[in-house]
């Protein structure tokens, strides 16, 4: 049975939770790989690595090692390509637009806490007209520590002026749930995100699972 909560703030991870960014990240990775003479990889195979950022995607593309002699060259190219075309094929996950509107209609605020660099996260949110709607945007270079450290989530609370106990944090990676729990927030795992075959969301320690973005409304909307 879904436990109804009474939060003041909903915080979301970006890639794999709020936005489906895998298509543009995958395109940038494959352009970088082929530029340097390596074989491209499939989107389905690459998706579970999106939560590891560009470094993780490049490691995957080069066979799983950042010691590969082509690693730095491919990573640099991927970042360049992604910066130019980061909102071509990306989209809000189905139902997420309604979720955000419902959150706002309830008088709640929402924000983003991601490990993505601010130049990419902010540009993405501007592309989807979400930048000014978000109460805060905490990126991977906003604080000294990234998730799974709780510092980014605590910084979000400081900027919004809410207590961690008044927040729900939603993410599609174990490090998201670890960070949210360490910060003292209620955590929900986005099981619709970029999960690999080895990922068992039931082991992450989240209070609940979201199999679709609209499932969030069952946790926060009055009956």
In this prediction, residue 1 carries a pLDDT of: 46
Question: 57: which residues sit within 8 A by CB, 6+ positions away?
Answer: 25, 26, 29, 46, 49, 50, 78
Average pLDDT rounded to a whole number, residues 163-176: 97
> Is 13 tagged catalytic?
yes
CB atoms within 10 A of CB 101: 11
Q: What's the CA gap between 209 and 190, in Å, rounded?
A: 6
> Is 20 tagged catalytic?
no
Q: Which of 15, 20, 24, 172 is catalytic?
A: 15
Strand partners, 208: 188
Least confident of 30-39, 61-70, 179-188, 203-212: 61-70
Pairing of strands 19-20, 91-92: antiparallel
In this prediction, residue 218 carries a pLDDT of: 93
Q: Long-range CB contacts (< 8 A, 24+ apart) of 105-109?
A: 106/220, 106/221, 108/7, 108/8, 108/9, 108/10, 108/220, 109/8, 109/9, 109/10, 109/135, 109/160, 109/162
């Amino acid at each position: 049975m879904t436990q109804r909560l009474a939060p003041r703030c909903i915080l979301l991870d970006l890639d794999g939770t709020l936005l489906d960014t895998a298509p543009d990240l995958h395109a940038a990775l494959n352009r970088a790989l082929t530029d340097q003479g390596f074989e491209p990889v499939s989107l389905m195979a690459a998706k579970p690595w999106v939560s590891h950022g560009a470094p993780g995607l490049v490691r995957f593309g080069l066979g799983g090692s950042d010691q590969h002699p082509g690693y730095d060259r491919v990573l640099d190219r991927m970042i360049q390509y992604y910066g130019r075309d980061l909102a071509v094929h990306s989209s809000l996950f189905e139902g997420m637009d309604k979720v955000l509107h419902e959150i706002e209609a309830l008088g709640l605020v929402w924000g983003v806490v991601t490990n993505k660099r601010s130049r990419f996260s902010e540009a993405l949110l501007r592309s989807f007209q979400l930048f000014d709607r978000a109460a805060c945007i905490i990126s991977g270079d906003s604080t000294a520590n990234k998730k799974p450290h709780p510092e980014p989530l605590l910084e979000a609370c400081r900027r919004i002026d809410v207590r961690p106990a008044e927040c729900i944090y939603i993410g599609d990676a174990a490090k998201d749930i670890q960070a949210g729990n360490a910060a003292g927030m209620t955590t929900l795992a986005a099981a619709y995100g970029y999960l690999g075959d080895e990922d068992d969301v039931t082991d992450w320690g989240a209070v609940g699972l979201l199999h679709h973005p609209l499932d969030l409304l069952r946790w926060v909307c009055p009956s």
